[in-house]
Amino acid sequence: VAFRRTANTLAVLLDGVSIGAIADMSAGEPTGPFYIDLLGSVAGISSFGEQAYSYGPSKAAVHQLSRNLARELVSEHINVNVIAPGRFPSKMTSHIHSDPDAMAEDCKHIPMKRWGREEEMSALAIMLAGTGGAYMTGNIIPIDGGFTL
């Protein structure tokens, strides 16, 4: 049952990512470069997974899907990269960032000793979607305060 649930979760997550990537591709103009920036996670890079057995592998699959898309689409002037965030405040992490003790404990695992900020994630996305991302494709870019070191 646990394996079936994990496999189903993985399939749903990957279907959503691949459909989103294909939809983004059709929005471009023929001059390019165009950009597909997918959202992965450091959970797809690190084994420190907090027993979220479908989340980490699904994010690793997003990373691999992006590499496959990058190779296939580069000749069409489409660059594909992944932003792989570490800890940022979200609904998924509210049980940690709303509890000062849990937050302090979690930050012990991050070399920068803090979580990421919204403006830091935004700056990376803007860079990838502009001139800064023009010569980048097939990259998995951790934004994690050093967590994956």
Q: How far is CA 49 from CA 61, 62, 87, 90, 99, in A?
A: 15, 16, 12, 17, 20
- The residue from 35, 53, 55, 135 that is catalytic is 55
Is 35 tagged catalytic?
A: no
Report the alpha-carbon distance of residue 81 to residue 88 in Å, rounded: 19
Q: How many Cβ atoms sit within 10 Å of the Cβ of residue 106?
A: 17
Q: What is the dihedral of CA 111, 64, 37, 132, to 10 degrees?
A: 70
**Positions marked catalytic:** 55
